[in-house]
Structure 1
Amino acid sequence: MHIDDLAAFSGWGAEAGRSLRAVGWLSSTHPFSTGRISAEVYAKLKLLLVDPWQPFVSCGVHPCELCQFDGPLGGANLFVPDGTKILVCPELITHSIAAHHYRPPDEFLTAVINCPETRTMEYKRLLLASGGRSLVGECRG
């Protein structure tokens, strides 16, 4: 499923969509930015994806649309608040970086480095400050 980087992400309704921006929703039929990222950013992104907070869990999985054969499957999403908006990426973003040399936008890389661990109160506060009140209100659990 392709969505342009930093485009509005409306998958969770109009109110939430005002704060959400897509990152890393790649497809083989659309060009994407490539280049190197630091090992520090990659390691932090992997850490955040160990137990990502989500307003709800999706019931399906998506294959990597860039792999010709036997690509990995992903079903989780990562919400990275930056203080003004929330950047939403699929868990396959680390695969896209490592295997396909995808380079996310600089503002996403900065937000990842500054993002608290997802199961902390600091993360929840930053999520709220970034416009995520409707997402937290939807959370059941």
Structure 2
Amino acid sequence: MTRYEDGSPYAYSPGTVPYGVEAVNIGWLEKDSEFPRGEAPAEFVQSLALLCRDDSRNAMRGLFPCPLPHQQDPGYPVSIVVGTQEVVLGNAEVRVVDQNGRWLVAPNLVHHYVTAHSYLPPAEFVEAVTARRSAPKS
């Protein structure tokens, strides 16, 4: 996976975003990258888990492992349990819309980054995920 700065123009798979829609990167972390840290609100973490389970987009054939250092091996592939369902991370994106209509696109590994590495995404991403404003399916 490639590192993209939060808020930079979305570039991972631009052909999957409709023409005329502004889309930006959120949470594309890479080994040795600096990123904001903090405790994410519980409601956001729960909403993000549901988004990863119910509305992951732009699925890829391969799986990306977490590139960040761990004190304990997270296993491969990285996964979470949402309700009673295991959700594999590292193979798709989550896409939400901020209050201005801009798409915020993150790898679904963002859930792991938030919960295991204390990554604190930008406030507009936290707000959009918590409000459950998924981007329209194209």
The normalised TM-score by structure 2 is: 0.75
CA 1:36 to 1:17, structure 2 compared with 1: closer, same or farther past 3 Å? farther
Distance (Å, rounded) in 2 between the aligned partners of 1:70 and 1:16: 40
Give me the CA root mean square deviation: 2.3
Aligned letter for 1:37?
A
- For the Cα contact (< 8 Å) 1:8–1:17, is it kept in 2? no
Alignment correspondent of 2:51: 48
Deviations 1:91-128 (A, max 9, x none): 11111111111000011001111224xxxxxx5xxx35
Q: What CA distance in whole angstroms lies between the structure 2 residues aligned with 1:31 and 1:53?
A: 25
Q: Sequence identity of aligned pairs in percent?
A: 32
For residues 100 and 7 of structure 1, the distance between their equivalents in structure 2, rounded to whole angstroms, comes to 21
- Give the paired residue count: 120
Give TM-score, length-normalised by structure 1.
0.73
Partner of 1:103: 120
Q: State how 1:110-121 maps to structure 2 within 5 Å.
A: 110-116=127-133
More helix by share: 1
- Counterpart of 1:9 in structure 2 is 10
State the match for 2:34 in structure 1: 31
